[in-house]
Amino acid sequence: MLLQFTNGRPFAQGCCGFLYRPATERETTPRIMLTVQISGIETQTALDTGGVYLVCDPEVADLLDLDPSSGVGSDSLGIRGRKVSGTLYRLPLRLVPDEGRGLELEVTAFVPSLEPYETWGLPSFMGLSGCLERLRFAVDPATDTFYFGAMEQEEALL
């Protein structure tokens, strides 16, 4: 059953299950892991309400064949205790529902710049600023369900 406001208007248009597990094999702290599509490529992402942007795993970015000259800027982020430089892109992110309707958003994605000898070793992360703030969402830890809905224009301005 999808969530709704007290006036009956839908809060969520879709929902999907999530995994509650560490983001990598080296970690012990569980995270909410969602399956999403980034420009049509299916991948796992970790929810990071304290983060910014959609931090896109460089391996996923390689599959997208992104051209750095098509980026919308650059930035440096503190990720896991190290400063990482990268390119910003506007990319479509699709939340795939188990129930209801899917949601496609255009989000700001940060793709880390790695040296040829470097490996990333992290999944993609959906941060609040530039990504999650573009949708309405709720988490039900009792059923491992992630609810999502579109932000309406007038509500986004409040």
Which residues of the chain fall short of a pLDDT of 70? 1, 153-158
**Looking at residue 1, what is its pLDDT?**
65
**Looking at residue 98, what is its pLDDT?**
97
Q: How far apart are CA 48 and CA 122, in angstroms?
A: 13
**Looking at residue 68, what is its pLDDT?**
83
Q: pTM of this prediction?
A: 0.87
At 84-124, the pLDDT tens digits run 999 999 999 999 999 999 999 999 999 999 888 888 989 99
Domains annotated for the chain, with CATH where assigned, are: 19-150 (2.40.70.10)
Strand 124-129 relative to strand 41-52, pairing: parallel
**Looking at residue 2, what is its pLDDT?**
74
Q: Are 126 and 46 in contact (CB under 8 A)?
A: yes
